[in-house]
Amino acid sequence: METSPGITPYKPEKWPVVNDRVSYLKQLAANLEVLDVGCTGKKADGRIPDVATTLHQALKPVCKSLVGIDNDASGIKTMEREGIKVICCDITLMNLQRTFDLIIAGEIIEHLSNPGLALKNLGKHLKQTGRLVLTTCNPFYYRQQSKILRKGHIQVHPEHTAWYDPLTMGVLLNNSGFKVIKGVWLSSRKRWSPLMLLTNRRRYWSPNFLIEAVLK
């Protein structure tokens, strides 16, 4: 039996598949004080998405309060031009002088040079009854496997410093003062397709995964 600190038994291959990431996060954030880490949603090619399409704006109507942070100065300026107040800071050094019910760090952990330090600082900004939500790309995504078979190599975001799977992420969180309480696989398919059937049967082939954790 596979085990990892935080969940026993720790069996990611049994985790459910969520086909609508934004709706799932909105449900978690409803009526809570939320910190959105990486709020600009910068793309792999450096593009800043339309502000209206960001997760930050999707969360705004459902939260009791919402604070967005990012270290991407150009993205912050783009959001500020649209009248959205967010904070430019380094999550390993920040001190926001408040705590939150929910911290969402979407596709951030794989960019960090010191993820343990960042997680410990996020823990200082989490209420004792609060929850940390991390999402990250899955190194075993079926399209990556296909690229290896067809081209002999994989595609990696130029700013990524590491790959994490649910097991190694569980260890990292445990070492950083957290206990994993739930995990789900994230699919990019909202409508039924043969690819959805594939990832439902072999969940380790899903493109991303999400972990929920609390302070130990």
pLDDT tens digit sequence for 158-196 = 788 888 999 999 999 999 999 999 999 998 665 555 555
On the CB side of 106, CA atoms within 13 Å amount to 23
Specify the pTM. 0.87
Interatomic CA distance for residues 129 and 106, integer angstroms: 20
Interatomic CA distance for residues 64 and 115, integer angstroms: 28
pLDDT class of 10 with cuts at 50, 70, 90 = confident
pLDDT of residue 2: 45
For the chain, which domains are there? 12-215 (3.40.50.150)
Whether residue 9 has a cis bond before it, omega within 30° of 0: yes
Radius of gyration of the chain (CA): 17
The neighbour count for residue 41, using CB atoms within 10 Å, is: 22
Q: Is the pLDDT of residue 198 over 60?
A: no
Q: Which residues pair with 36 in a beta bridge?
A: 68, 104
Q: Is the pLDDT of residue 1 over 50?
A: no
Please answer whether residues 135 and 21 qualify as being in contact, where contact means their C-beta atoms are separated by less than 8 angstroms: yes
Interatomic CA distance for residues 199 and 183, integer angstroms: 15
Interatomic CA distance for residues 10 and 1, integer angstroms: 8
Q: Is the pLDDT of residue 59 over 90?
A: yes
